[in-house]
Amino acid sequence: MTKPLLEIKNLKKQYPIYGPMGKMFRPKTHMNAVAGLSLEIHEKETYGLVGESGCGKSTTGRSIVKLVTPDEGEILYQGSDLLKLSNREYKPLCRDLQMIFQDSLSSMNPRQRIGQILEEPLIIHEMGDADERRRQVMEILTKVGLSEEYFFRYPHELSGGQVQRLGIARALIIKPKLIICDEPVSALDVSIQAQILNTLTSLQKEMDLSLLFISHDIGVVRYISKRIGVMYLGTLVEEADTEELFANTLHPYTKALLASVPDFSVAKKREVVLKGEQPVRTDEFRGCVFHTRCPYATEKCKTEQPELREIAPGHKAACHLCEGAGNA
């Protein structure tokens, strides 16, 4: 395997929970949105991060591009810890790290024409003169499946799928190395989802990109990812190559996610069905993160948090049931 392009080590982010008097008093406790997450993304790889809404996957993605400031941990990009860099030191690196949002429209200035929206990142990063920038805008419009005709249009004139294509174009125009895709197809019709995913994968190959693909939909993540990390309550509970994860699912939470996919070839593994809501992981939370919803939970699960450990080559899981399996 190639060396990691990005390494996240023991990332933590918590938010205060205040009592009924609000911010007049110190927080009652904290919600641990990300609680010691570690993962690696390799060059030209698509890493899928999957889990229910609120599990901390978007906070993780936003931490990489400095939209969220983590409390602890390291984010190493080509050896530099992004969290320790000043804004001036980060600026040249941020050209390599771009993000595609679920709702790209809300991240665009509605008064700007599409040509201006796409030219702006080139101006910020001082890439090319006016003629060269215009040439690059026309080129990227074609690459993402829009045409040069869109140069003078406004983003509100586009359909949902076209807006996401524009979001991809804006992320790619400065030729980044890693794209964080935060639920980029969740708001789209299924047929449009497939088109956008195909556009992303073909551009990834053409431009040698790495992708961190964040989604709550394990079916979509399976379609696009080479490796998958399953996240629950701020931490990884299982990680493996995509084929291995689906062939030898270990963690009960991953099994529950698979059971929720409306695809009969996958849904036959309905061993675990998710019930109830995921709890809030406060400072007082103990034991396995999944114990409140796991049908196999024992007394040990309520008090001892299992470590994420390698059970088979490249396949990690955090479950007491898997302990010993890797020692055989």
For residue 153, the tally of other CB atoms under 10 A from its CB is: 15
Q: Of 301, 308, 315, 316, which lies in the binding site for ligand SF4, with binding defined by CB under 6 A?
A: 301
Q: Check residue 154 for interaction with ligand SF4 (CB under 6 A).
A: no
The count of residues interacting with ligand SF4 (CB under 6 A) is 13
Tell me how far, at minimum, the Cβ of 261 lies from ligand SF4, in Å: 19
For residue 60, the tally of other CB atoms under 10 A from its CB is: 28
Tell me how far, at minimum, the Cβ of 238 lies from ligand SF4, in Å: 10
Q: Check residue 155 for interaction with ligand SF4 (CB under 6 A).
A: no
Q: Check residue 319 for interaction with ligand SF4 (CB under 6 A).
A: yes
Q: Check residue 306 for interaction with ligand SF4 (CB under 6 A).
A: yes
Q: Check residue 320 for interaction with ligand SF4 (CB under 6 A).
A: yes
For residue 312, the tally of other CB atoms under 10 A from its CB is: 15
Q: Check residue 70 for interaction with ligand SF4 (CB under 6 A).
A: no
- Contact segment (CB under 6 A) with ligand SF4 among 102-110, 155-163, 202-210, 318-326 equals 318-326
Q: Considering beta carbons, is residue 187 or 321 the nearer one to ligand SF4?
A: 321
From CA 251, how far away is CA 238, in angstroms rounded?
6
Question: By the 8 A CB rule, do 176 and 95 touch?
Answer: yes
Interaction residues for ligand SF4, span 236-275 (CB under 6 A)? 251-252
Q: Check residue 51 for interaction with ligand SF4 (CB under 6 A).
A: no
Residue 129 has φ and ψ, to the nearest 5°, of: -85, 180
Q: Considering beta carbons, is residue 68 or 321 the nearer one to ligand SF4?
A: 321
Tell me how far, at minimum, the Cβ of 254 lies from ligand SF4, in Å: 10
Q: Check residue 325 for interaction with ligand SF4 (CB under 6 A).
A: no
Q: Check residue 321 for interaction with ligand SF4 (CB under 6 A).
A: yes
- Contact segment (CB under 6 A) with ligand SF4 among 14-22, 73-81, 91-99, 290-298 equals 290-298
From CA 175, how far away is CA 122, in angstroms rounded?
10
Tell me how far, at minimum, the Cβ of 251 lies from ligand SF4, in Å: 6
Q: Check residue 296 for interaction with ligand SF4 (CB under 6 A).
A: yes
Q: Considering beta carbons, is residue 110 or 279 the nearer one to ligand SF4?
A: 279
Q: Of 291, 308, 315, 316, which lies in the binding site for ligand SF4, with binding defined by CB under 6 A?
A: 291
List of residues contacting ligand SF4 (CB under 6 A):
251-252, 288, 290-291, 294, 296-297, 301, 306, 319-321
